[in-house]
Chains A and B, each alone.
Chain A
Amino acid sequence: MAIGRGHLLDLESLSAEEITTILDTTRTFREVIDRDIKKVPTLRGITVVNLFFEPSTRTRISFELAEKRLSADTVNFSKATSSVQKGESLKDTIQNIEAMRTDMVVIRHSSPGAAHYLTQCCNSAVINAGDGSHAHPTQALLDIFTIREKYKRIKDLRVLIVGDIKHSRVARSNIWGLKKLGAQVAICGPSTLLPYEVEKMGVEVFTDIDEALEGVDIVNILRIQLERQDAGFFPTLREYTELYGINMERLKKLNAGFTILHPGPMNRGVEISDEVAEHSDAVILEQVTNGVAVRMSVLYLLMHKEPVSVSEGVEV
């Protein structure tokens, strides 16, 4: 089964089966990265370009490690040191890189649809590593994988996403992915950071965090950016923390056996208290580890187009 018609651009256009295939394959690769020798020859001879037009630590390193552990050749591009500074367009940039015979492109860009646009400009398989506020499918997949590893299911779990939903590609991709797998998804944030008619995406919408946390299994806490304060979406970070910061007191509202997720980078003491970040039910570093396995899975499926079982795939 091919996923995403040869590219991974978003989760909205994937079926539940395709998402499940990626998650199942991720299990295989998670086992690989827990070994002493974390490398398989699966993508030997394949060249992957990491095109990062926005700053990134986690996602870029995660993709690069995933590629290296699959034995792909990797090239990193960053906007600051490229010809984009000389005015080269995205189209010319990718076509020139592809002319050097590359096979896959991982792109992070500030414009929604940038990954979609690349599929029209080049022949490589394209993986969206974040396009503006639109989508960040591998982040959502790693969040969902992390949840599934713990609960062994997604269906009927109650997931709450807290924070700046309006500007969050992570929130959008999580909503699509979780809903396709049958979770009940709610969002909570100041009304200025909830996008127009977001309830039509099939989520429950809260502005009162204490109400929102009632009976929830999983809380995914989004990073809040200082720029949003300057743009007038809320008065001060201090007030944001008062109203929406997740602290130990607020965890009491959650269902027993709850889990705390955060896609990083964290602002400790702002959207998440230090104790919550360090809580035994916070799986924030587990998410990061799983991120590599998810990306190996996506890279593998896009190049091989067939799901693997534990025994085969990794030995190839």
Chain B
Amino acid sequence: MADLIVTGKRVIDTFNDYEGPGTIYMTGDRIEKFEKEYKPDTNGARVIDAGNKIISPGLVDMHVHLREPGREDEETIVTGADAAAAGGFTAVCCMPNTTPVIDTQEVVRFILSRAKEAAVRVFVIGAVTRGQEGKRLSEIGDMWDAGIVAISEDGKSVMNAEMMRNGMEYARMFHIPVISHCEDANLANGGKVNEGYNSTVLGMKGIPSIAEDVIVARDIFISRFTHSPLHIAHISTEASIKLVKEAKEEGLDVTAEATPHHFSLTDDLLKTFDTNLIVNPPIRTTADVEAVKRGLKDGTIDCIVSDHAPHSPEEKDVEFNAAPFGMIGLETTVGLTFTNLVHGNILSEAEVLRKMTVNPSRILNLPYNGFAGDGLADVTIINPDLEWTVEKKKFRSKSKNSPFIGYKLKGKAVCTICKGEVVYEEDI
């Protein structure tokens, strides 16, 4: 007897390339059985009838900042997981730029112990170097033993190319990728926004697109030389996307992700001086936004991630130059993706779901395999046509720093099930 049953006419299981009616029977935290039929009249356990809404294996956001340990005033593992659940994600991967940095097994274990109380699964990404200082490698093997799924210096690049080479070569032994935040610190040189016509007019210090491009190129070269897996974080420029495309055509083990803000916003918005627009990499030009969409369409960009980066009001309610980089995104990612990519006729529903399910799972070797067989009981139900407005007061995240407040979106996760438990639901 199943504990929880989800049934509907539109299952999209990207792991098994199945689209059609289906019923998922869950017992405990596992999927017991999947039937390719819509069975709203099933009796016994709790039955969720999704009707015409999309039923997908639980979504994964492989790039978030949960701020714990260190900035629990901005987010905790528990509140970040609540935001993830409300956004339709059943798993998040947290970046290591906390205080202390996630660079030892102890910090990994601390996060995993906190994650036991969290609504969704939390996978941990360790730092490439100790303290993210770029000087000595972290104890990557020890962290891997505790369960990290990747290493990353996110927030910046490992600027010493030899150190990056060592990190990638070393991580290869554990079959985990290096996730590279690509930004040449010298070229970026304290910039706050994309260097372009808008930064010129507004007198804002620019980060040139080449700051990203040169490190993407460098890291692809290192990946080729060392035969190590490389994942490019939040790719944002036309030239970088071209580099990744060429690397893939060559058959290198290179993957990439993009954020909703990089396919939804341009630097034309900067004239509002809204500090919530300050993000790294910066929101760029229309040509870059179009390139991100093309990269998502042609498969150059494998994943969609939020780069959820909570900041307190006192950090963001300041003059422009004083505000830190980052915007929250867990609760707007599905909405922006469906609005701009699916309803924008760039990608199909199945194509966008691949970028939040099977693709991140394969890149990070997460234990998901969709609805076939004995899988994890993680399910997301999405109403692709639900029209809603992003409201500050409805965010479950502890922080509210979103430039999308007031945006009207179409498409929303309406029910999130993690480990066989309903962790988020609205009227469906």
Contacts and interface: CB of A to CB of B under 8 A. Distances in A.
A35 interface: no
Interface in A162-207: 167, 169, 172, 195-198, 200-201
A151 interface: no
Given A90-B318, A117-B273, A135 B197 contact: no
Interface string B306-346: 00000000100111111000000000000000000000000
Interface stretch (A54-62, A69-77, A107-115, A266-274): A107-115
Contacts of B319: 90, 109, 111, 113-114, 117
B320 A201 contact: no
**Most-contacted residue by chain B among A109, A112, A117, A201 (CB, 10 A):** A112
Nearest to A176: B201
A89 interface: yes
Contacts of B208: 196
Contacts, number: 65
B201 A196 contact: no
B203, B205, B320 — most chain A CB neighbours (10 Å): B203
Interface string B194-226: 011101111111101000000000000000000
A198 B196 CA distance: 9
Contacts of B200: 195-198, 200-201
Contact of A89 (B201, B204, B314): B314
B34 to A, nearest CB: 53
Interface residues of B, number: 20
A111 B196 contact: no
A250 interface: no
A91 interface: yes
Interface string A113-151: 110110000000000000111110000000000000000
Question: Which of B199, B200, B317, B321 is packed against the most chain A CB atoms within 10 Å?
Answer: B200
Contacts of B273: 112-113, 116-117
Nearest to A201: B201
B267 to A, nearest CB: 11
Contacts of A114: 319-320
22 contacts: A12-B201, A90-B319, A90-B322, A91-B317, A111-B321, A112-B203, A112-B204, A113-B202, A113-B273, A116-B273, A132-B203, A132-B204, A132-B321, A133-B203, A134-B202, A167-B203, A172-B201, A172-B203, A195-B200, A196-B195, A196-B199, A201-B200
Given A110-B321, A195-B206, 14 more contacts: A12-B201, A90-B322, A109-B319, A111-B319, A112-B204, A133-B203, A134-B202, A134-B203, A195-B200, A196-B196, A196-B197, A196-B200, A197-B197, A200-B200
Q: What 7 A-B pairs are tightest by C-beta distance, nearest first? A: A133-B203, A134-B203, A113-B273, A111-B321, A195-B200, A111-B319, A113-B320
